[in-house]
């Protein structure tokens, strides 16, 4: 799963001192921390940016597989699924921009928020009703929960 534009609204807030801030949706966090483990789904973060904020949020949510500063997300995703002994068909991937598109296309279920970039929406199997950073990830978790899917997000 991507972060900026998926777990956040894609905006970076900066203070006059240069400190960056990001906003996360509490419903997404609850789903990741409390619902995914009950379903046997391992959350994975693959993000193009590096951020202490993302590291801290991931730790709060119990996400152990965190990869930051990744330019080729598909290459890393393929490595992860080999290490986790699963297949791309078992992967649910959610992202919002062109650097997520190949993962979205190759995943068993490729998802994007409704406010994703147009080419990404065209490549996704499922487009959420909610915007990134506003419950889009929780929407997917609730969908998976209703389907009782297993795999990685």
pLDDT of residue 147: 79
- Bridge partners of 112, per DSSP, are 127
State the Cα–Cα distance between residues 6 and 18, nearest whole angstrom: 23
pLDDT above 80 for 88: yes
Q: What is the mean pLDDT of the chain?
A: 95
pLDDT band at 143, cuts 50/70/90? very high
Burial per residue of 44-56, b for 16 or more beta-carbon CB atoms within 10 angstroms, e otherwise? bbbbbeebebbee
What is the rounded average pLDDT of the residues 83-108?
97
Instruction: Tell me the C-alpha to C-alpha distance, in Å, between residue 28 and each of 10, 23, 61, 132.
Output: 15, 11, 10, 10
pLDDT above 90 for 14: yes
pLDDT above 60 for 144: yes
pTM over 0.85: yes
What is the rounded average pLDDT of the residues 46-57?
96
Residues making up the binding site for substrate: 4
Instruction: Tell me the C-alpha to C-alpha distance, in Å, between residue 25 and each of 31, 40, 50, 76.
Output: 10, 22, 20, 26
Residues making up the binding site for Mg(2+): 2, 96
Gap between the terminal Cα atoms of the chain: 6
**Structural domains of the chain, ranges and CATH numbers in brackets:** 13-145 (3.40.50.1000)
Residues making up the binding site: 2, 4, 96
């Amino acid at each position: 799963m991507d972060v900026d534009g998926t777990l956040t609204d894609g905006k970076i807030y900066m203070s006059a001192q240069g400190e960056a801030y990001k906003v996360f949706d509490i419903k997404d966090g609850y789903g990741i921390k409390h619902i995914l483990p009950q379903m046997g789904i391992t959350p994975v973060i693959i993000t193009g940016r590096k951020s202490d904020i993302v590291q801290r949020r991931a730790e709060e949510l119990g996400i152990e597989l965190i990869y930051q500063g990744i330019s080729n997300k598909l290459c890393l995703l393929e490595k992860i699924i080999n290490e986790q002994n699963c297949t791309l068909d078992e992967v649910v991937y959610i992202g919002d921009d062109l650097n997520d598109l190949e993962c979205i296309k190759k995943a068993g279920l490729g998802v994007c928020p409704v406010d994703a970039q147009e080419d990404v929406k065209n490549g996704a199997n499922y487009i959420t009703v909610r915007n990134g950073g506003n419950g889009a990830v929780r929407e997917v978790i609730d969908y998976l929960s209703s389907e009782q899917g297993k795999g990685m997000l």
